[in-house]
């Protein structure tokens, strides 16, 4: 149980919703597979091996949104409708009009949906009710928003807010690159992307490349700002910070992985041990990152 991409949000700290109430409210929108005429469906699934929709380890909560979608490309539906339109034209001497073509496509869709393959996905979110974190393991804001929308529909009250810092990640990363040094327990790694703010949007990307020296400073002086920067925190966690404040390519390093030795005899115990280690590290990383960005911006 290791998250790879973090979309970070704020809840009231402490969040007053009891775990029993959260479980009850999520259960009202439990996941059900697609019916014969459903193109997509989503709902809450158990994140671990138990039936509970809220899995808890050491006061940290884990929830999971399940989704299923039918794999039926629009081009397939359109082609089948065109073939049927050709048959109708051959039989009646003229091609179906716009309204009849729309009805043909709907008919084809209804006939093909029950035979279409399905794809299922799961999206996890970690809730720290004491410190007020809600963190979605999603590679994009759009994927994260799917889970947030389902939470809004499930909960009676959902006082969520964006995490905002005094300094923008872009300007802070530019300062760190110019100084060739990150603050506190952070160190700069060897991946970076810089993009021009001019109309041409010229960009340069470095992969496994030293980010010290005049070349990087030249790009900064030319008006390019970092949009992605690889960092390591306390020699324990590496990640890529984006200009939007997203955390991508999160990796827990060997010093953490070694702590798992002998902690779990079965899959369930190992799952809980990984979740506990991960949340413990993130509860250190997130406040440190906020401090490096000038502190949290209060409304």
What's 29's DSSP letter? Answer: T
Cβ burial of 210 (10 Å; 0-12, 13-18, 19+) is exposed
Cα first-last separation, the chain:
33
Query: pTM of the entire structure?
Result: 0.85
Higher pLDDT, 265 or 185: 185
The predicted structure's pLDDT at residue 212: 85
The predicted structure's pLDDT at residue 15: 94
- Which residues lie across from 6 on neighbouring strands? 137, 247
Residue 24 has pLDDT above 80, yes or no: yes
The predicted structure's pLDDT at residue 126: 98
Residue 176 has pLDDT above 90, yes or no: yes
Domain ranges, ordered by start, for the chain: 6-72+116-160, 74-114, 169-292
pLDDT in tens, 277-293: 999 999 999 999 999 99
- Taking a C-beta distance cutoff of 8 angstroms, is the pair 241, 290 a contact? no
């Amino acid at each position: 149980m290791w998250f790879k991409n973090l979309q970070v949000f704020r809840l009231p700290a402490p969040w007053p919703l009891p775990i029993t109430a959260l479980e009850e409210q999520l259960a009202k929108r439990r996941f059900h597979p697609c019916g014969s005429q459903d193109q997509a469906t989503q709902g809450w699934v158990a994140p671990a091996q138990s039936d509970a929709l809220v899995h808890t380890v050491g006061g940290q909560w884990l929830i999971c949104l399940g989704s299923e979608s039918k794999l039926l490309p629009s081009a397939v539906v359109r082609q089948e409708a065109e073939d049927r339109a050709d048959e109708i034209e051959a039989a009646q001497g003229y091609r179906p009009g716009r309204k009849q073509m729309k009805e043909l496509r709907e008919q084809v869709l209804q006939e093909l949906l029950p035979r279409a393959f399905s794809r299922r996905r799961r999206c996890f979110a970690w809730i720290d009710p004491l410190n007020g974190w809600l963190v979605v393991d999603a590679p994009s804001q759009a994927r994260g928003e799917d889970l947030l929308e389902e939470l809004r529909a499930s909960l009676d009250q959902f006082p969520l807010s964006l995490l905002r810092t005094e300094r923008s990640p872009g300007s802070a990363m530019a300062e760190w690159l110019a100084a060739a040094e990150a603050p506190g327990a952070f160190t700069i790694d060897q991946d970076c992307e810089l993009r021009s703010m001019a109309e041409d949007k010229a960009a340069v990307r470095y992969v496994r490349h030293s980010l010290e020296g005049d070349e990087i400073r030249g790009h900064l002086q030319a008006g390019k700002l970092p949009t992605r920067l690889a960092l390591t925190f306390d020699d324990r966690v590496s990640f890529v910070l984006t200009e939007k404040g997203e955390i991508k390519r999160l990796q827990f390093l060997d010093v953490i992985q070694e702590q798992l030795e002998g902690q779990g005899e079965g899959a369930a115990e190992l799952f809980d041990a990984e979740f506990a280690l991960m949340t413990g590290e993130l509860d250190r990383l997130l406040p440190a990152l906020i401090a490096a960005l000038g502190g949290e911006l209060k409304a």
